[in-house]
Chains A and B, each alone.
Chain A
Amino acid sequence: MSEALLSARDLRKTFGGVHAVDGVSLEIRPREMVALIGPNGAGKTTFYNMLSGRMKPTSGRVHFRGRDITGMPPHAISRLGISRSFQINNIFGELTVRQNVEVALTALHRRTFRMFRPASRDRQLLQEADAVLERLGLRELADTRAGVLSYGDKRLLEIAIVLATRPTMVLLDEPTAGMTPEETRRVTRLIRGLAETGEYTFLITEHDMDVVFDLAERIVVMHRGGLLAEGTPEEIRSNPAVREAYLGEEESA
């Protein structure tokens, strides 16, 4: 119990009488790699939004390192060390790739109110930004305007921004969505590499089951706003309820 890094207790979110998330509890231990899966409309994104401060839960609590963070604004949650990516690319298209990362680093170092020194002369920022870009293989594109990157590189930049805030808890919302198989392999390798450093704890939603079973130590399945199952990849693979939820989805789709 006390060893949980992030814990959600009985989280609920109601939109005009509809329960998008209906009493979900989840605990994530430090350095764990957990995948959150479920058919479309299962409530995964709403659940993420409540963990990251984008939405206030209707009821239930979220604790991070034993501290109650329920209903805190996004910037405060980010500062505590929870960083998230978005399903739809959410980068700064008019800024260069390096500047995208620098935005997060400026926030990390509390330099956002530095008004009278050119940002481009901040050597520490520059070096740290390049180090993050190096890690993601974007170093060569540092001076490119982010808006013209390829789709896959944009997804990588999204992850670069997340890492630049130096999170302990990383929430990735479908990191490989829309990627080519080659790009997907690249991102999967990258995430595994990050996990092996032992610096991060991951919660990942993902549609690509190969990626999920490849990466996750533990899988949590959501269905119709509630938790359907939880277990190791092997347990989930052989769980009849999970299979039914997904098959039902495919039949109706």
Chain B
Amino acid sequence: MSRQVSASSVSAAGVERRPPGWRVGVPLILALLVAVLAALPAFAPYFYIFVGTEILIMGLFAASFNLIFGYTGMLSFGHAAFFGMGAYTTALLLLHFEVPLLWALLASMATSALLAAVIGFFSVRLGEVYFAMLTLAFGMMVYAVALQWRSFTNGSDGITGFLLGDFGLGLDLQLADPAVYYRVVLVVVVLAAAVLYLITRSSFGLILRAISENPERVAFCGVEVRRHRLAAFVIAGTFAGLAGALFAPFNRVANPDMIHWSQSAEPVLMTILGGAGYFLGPFFGAAVFLLLETWITSFTEHWMLVLGIVLALLVMFFRRGVLGTLLDRMLRR
């Protein structure tokens, strides 16, 4: 790229320059990764299939959080409310109506979107500090409802004993088989991630990134910031609901723990661990997080303490996360 000498002094690092082969290389690596993940049940023991399922689901949960945090600059401490909403919707539909899984997933997205629209309406009106506070508070409201409305939610025990039947669309799938369920999760998560990716690259995504940096300037460009924040919040809630809906049959229970604020801390940490604002950061972060959790809980029950310390250290010293730091190195070489 040739640049004539102007009043500007631009360092080479500032130019968005990607390594040669980037446009081909990255999709190729991703396709390979998905292929390996799809083949996993053929050679890996069940334990890894379970871990893989959980990483995919939590990765989607964190990726949905990243849309509002990494891309729009809004820090929510109540994202688990939508995860829980999805989980309860699916669990209740499977328990009472034995609907095909696909319909339960879609219904869960709808209920989570509705909940996100209501909570979002109140939370996006004021600044970031209010937003963080209100999402935590409203998230705990959902928790309180799940705990107290015993006749409907079965209180602290949650919804159990529901069975997986058909998938829907006339597909003959043995969903009770963990390997089959894993593949279903893989397909759903890849599709959902593709939609989320498209959104981040769209005009809407560009506006979100601009809002994240400087909401006031965006408003002076003629954009109604609040409506875009709300839209991002509802989309994020919808996909968090989908993640929760996938999680309930996997976990065989939907309970209030899934809604508690400490559950909301998980996508926060996963996103920051992987790299906020990088599309694959949250998936990467989810993998590291869950492997770390499995390892650490094998010798201490105080996982939350480690979680808090890791979060603090990441924010202080490693803000771009693992993937972000790696990409920075590669792109600025």
Contact = CB atoms under 8 A, between A and B. Distances in A.
A150 B8 CA distance: 5
A82 B7 CA distance: 29
A78 B204 contact: no
A115 B16 contact: no
Interface residues of B, number: 39
Contacts of B209: 92, 94-95
Contacts of B7: 150, 152-153, 180, 182-183, 186
Contacts of A115: 198-199, 202-205
B186 interface: no
Interface in A83-108: 83-84, 86, 90-96, 99, 102-104, 106-108
Contacts of A74: 216, 219-220
B221 A95 contact: no
Nearest to A125: B203
Task: Give the size range of A's interface with the partner.
Answer: 35 or more
Interface stretch (B80-88, B161-169, B224-232, B309-317): B224-232
Interface centre among B195, B199, B204 (most CB of A within 10 A): B204
Contact of A103 (B10, B13, B221): B221
Contact of B8 (A113, A116, A125, A153): A153
Contacts of B195: 116
A144 B203 contact: no
Interface string A1-42: 000000000000000000000000000000000000000000
Contacts of B199: 115-116
Nearest to A112: B207
B214 interface: yes
B217 interface: yes
B220 A145 contact: no
Contacts, number: 144
A95 B222 contact: no
A195 interface: no
Contact of A112 (B3, B6, B203): B203
Interface in A122-152: 122, 125, 137, 140-141, 143-145, 147-150, 152
Contacts of B203: 102, 106, 111-115, 117, 119, 122, 125
A142 to B, nearest CB: 10
B206 interface: yes
B293 interface: no
Contacts of A150: 7-10
A152 B220 contact: no
Contact of B206 (A75, A108, A116, A119): A119
Contacts of B222: 75, 78-79, 104, 107-108, 165
A149 B8 contact: yes
A99 B212 CA distance: 14
Contacts of A113: 203-204, 228, 231
Nearest to A90: B217
Contacts of B228: 112-113
Given A115-B204, A150-B9, A145 B16 contact: yes
B51 to A, nearest CB: 32
B151 interface: no
A52 interface: yes
B10 to A, nearest CB: 5
A115 B204 CA distance: 5
Contact of B10 (A52, A75, A119, A149): A149
Contacts of B210: 92, 95, 99, 103
Contacts of B300: none
Interface string B128-144: 00000000000000000
B221 A141 contact: no
B206 A103 contact: yes
A106 B210 CA distance: 12
Interface in B1-54: 1, 3-4, 6-11, 13-16
Contacts of B231: 113
Given A52-B220, A79-B222, A143 B15 contact: yes
B219 A91 contact: no
A148 to B, nearest CB: 3
Interface in B193-252: 195, 198-199, 201-207, 209-210, 213-214, 216-225, 228, 231
Given A144-B14, A149-B8, A118 B213 contact: no
Interface in B262-316: none
B218 A114 contact: no
A183 B217 CA distance: 24
A198 interface: no
A141 B228 CA distance: 29
A161 interface: yes
The 3 closest A-B pairs by CB, nearest first: A148-B14, A78-B222, A107-B222
15 contacts: A74-B216, A75-B219, A78-B220, A106-B206, A106-B207, A112-B204, A112-B223, A115-B199, A117-B203, A122-B203, A137-B6, A149-B14, A150-B8, A150-B10, A152-B7
Given A75-B225, A143-B1, 7 more contacts: A54-B220, A92-B213, A102-B206, A108-B222, A113-B228, A145-B15, A186-B7
